[in-house]
């Protein structure tokens, strides 16, 4: 099976890019208050107007940036920041494994550039799209469209947040923070495969909730995912 | 528009850590052919990641968050993305105001 676009079968790259933009648009809007909030916190913590977009542009991973900004000191504790970032983002190792089989036949430079932008949301939207696609190929145009929207929105709004102050706290308190779980829940509906997914998901939910409650730091995604994975593995072996 | 050297080093190291986690999964599995069982696991794992990312909303113990999440989950089984988002935001906002 060839993974390259042949014009007669596959839709054009531009069409796929626009499809990615359209799909990512609601999520892009939901990013705005979070970007503004991160930027305003970063300024309070002593990052400069240049350091904020540098951070959010080079380290495109919102969760770890909120943690880093909270831990920021003058001068910054470099080892603490680096190790926290690695821990929080270690879930991406697992996410990357789920994309590997769709990426393998691509040119090396393309794989390593695409993966640079693989934040939770880019990963989730692209993987869900790939699984829905009858040919089970990852659409590079779609991935790029999603990435362009979310990445530019994130870098711009975090930068702007450095100037706007904390006016957005209320927006988030009024429920905007439910937008991102909403996206993930809609994606989960697409991944639902009956009983085969029910038990692993429930065990993930319980394990992640307990871990979040009892362990400080960002272990909950890893513990939850691994617990669900072990559960799934046992079910697969029993068949 | 200043940039401190130590801040720059911190940001670059953080970026490197994040990038390592992003290419790590690919580097581990590339060139391997997965057994049918491993492929089946790879189909279930993404859902486990997403469920785990959402878990703190539940673990927060806030009734408004938990009920809001429940309403959003119910909406997600019936509606498309944008109505689900709007309903989830509205329900959570209303619940937080009144609970």
Nearest to B42 among A30, A97, A183 (CB): A97
Look at B84 and A185 and tell me if their CB atoms are within 8 Å.
yes
Sequence ranges of the domains in chain B:
1-32, 36-99
Per-residue pLDDT for chain A (239 aa), expressed as one digit of tens each? 444 444 444 668 999 999 999 999 999 999 998 999 899 999 999 999 999 999 999 999 998 999 999 889 999 999 999 999 998 999 999 999 999 999 988 999 999 999 999 999 999 999 999 998 888 899 999 999 999 999 999 999 999 999 997 677 777 778 888 998 999 999 999 899 998 999 999 999 999 999 999 988 778 999 999 999 999 999 999 87
Predicted local confidence at residue A172, as pLDDT: 77
Give the C-alpha separation, B65 to A52, whole Å. 30
Helices A13-44, A62-71: axis angle to 10 degrees equals 10
Does residue B21 carry a pLDDT above 90?
A: yes
Nearest to B49 among A61, A83, A91 (CB): A91
Q: Contacts of residue A232 in chain B, CB cutoff 8 Å?
A: 40-41, 44-45, 48
Q: Phi and psi dihedrals of A174, rounded to 5?
A: -80, 15
- Assembly ipTM: 0.91
Q: In sequence order, what are the residues at sequence separation of 6 or more whose Cβ sits closer than 8 angstroms to the Cβ of residue A4?
A: none
Specify the DSSP element, H or E, that contains A230: helix A220-238
CA-CA-CA-CA dihedral for B10, B52, A178, A88, to nearest 10: 0
Among A182, A225, A218, smallest CA distance to A65 is for A218
Nearest to B47 among A58, A173, A201 (CB): A201
Q: How confident is the model over B5-17, as a mean pLDDT?
A: 97
**Nearest-by-CA chain A residue for B83:** A182
Q: Contacts of residue B68 in chain A, CB cutoff 8 Å?
A: 175, 178
Sequence ranges of the domains in chain A:
13-175, 192-239
Predicted local confidence at residue A2, as pLDDT: 44
Distances A122 to A1, A142, B21, B30 between C-alpha atoms, Å:
25, 10, 15, 20
Are B64 and B99 within 8 A, CB to CB?
yes
To the nearest whole angstrom, how far is the Cα of B16 from the nearest Cα of chain A? Answer: 8
Q: Give pLDDT tens digits for B25-67.
A: 999 998 888 899 999 999 899 999 999 999 999 998 899 999 9
| pTM of the complete model | 0.87
3-class DSSP state for residue B65? Answer: helix
Look at A182 and B80 and tell me if their CB atoms are within 8 Å.
no
Are B73 and B93 within 8 A, CB to CB?
no
Nearest to B22 among A47, A115, A173 (CB): A115
Predicted local confidence at residue A1, as pLDDT: 42
Are A20 and A144 within 8 A, CB to CB?
yes
Give the C-alpha separation, A105 to B38, whole Å. 19
């Amino acid at each position: 099976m060839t993974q390259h676009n042949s014009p007669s079968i596959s839709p054009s790259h531009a069409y796929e890019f626009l499809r990615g933009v359209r799909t990512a648009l609601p999520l892009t809007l939901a990013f705005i208050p979070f970007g503004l909030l991160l930027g305003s916190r970063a300024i309070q913590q002593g990052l400069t107007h240049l350091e904020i977009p540098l951070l959010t542009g080079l380290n495109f991973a919102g969760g770890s940036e909120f943690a880093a900004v909270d831990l920021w000191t003058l001068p910054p504790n470099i080892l603490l920041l680096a190790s926290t970032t690695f821990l929080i983002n270690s879930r991406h190792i697992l996410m990357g494994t789920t994309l590997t089989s769709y990426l393998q036949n691509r040119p090396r430079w393309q794989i390593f550039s695409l993966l640079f932008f693989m934040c939770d949301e880019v990963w989730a939207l692209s993987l869900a799209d790939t699984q829905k696609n009858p040919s089970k190929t990852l659409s590079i145009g779609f991935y790029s469209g999603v990435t362009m929207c979310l990445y530019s929105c994130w870098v711009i709004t975090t930068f702007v947040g450095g100037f706007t102050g904390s006016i957005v706290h209320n927006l988030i308190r009024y429920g905007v923070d439910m937008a991102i779980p909403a996206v993930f829940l809609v994606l989960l509906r697409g991944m639902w495969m009956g009983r085969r997914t029910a038990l692993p998901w429930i065990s993930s939910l319980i394990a992640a909730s307990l871990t979040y409650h009892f362990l400080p730091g960002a272990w909950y995604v890893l513990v939850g995912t691994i617990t669900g994975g072990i559960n799934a593995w046992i079910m697969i072996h029993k068949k | 528009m200043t940039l401190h050297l130590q801040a720059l080093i911190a940001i670059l190291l953080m970026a490197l850590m994040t990038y390592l986690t992003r290419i790590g999964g690919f580097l581990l599995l590339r060139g391997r052919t997965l057994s049918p069982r491993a492929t089946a696991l790879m189909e279930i794992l993404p859902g486990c990641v997403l469920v785990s990312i959402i878990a703190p909303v539940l673990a927060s113990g806030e009734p408004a968050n938990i009920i809001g999440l429940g309403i959003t989950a119910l909406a997600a089984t019936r509606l498309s993305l944008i109505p689900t988002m709007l309903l989830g935001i509205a329900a959570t906002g209303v619940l937080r105001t009144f609970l």
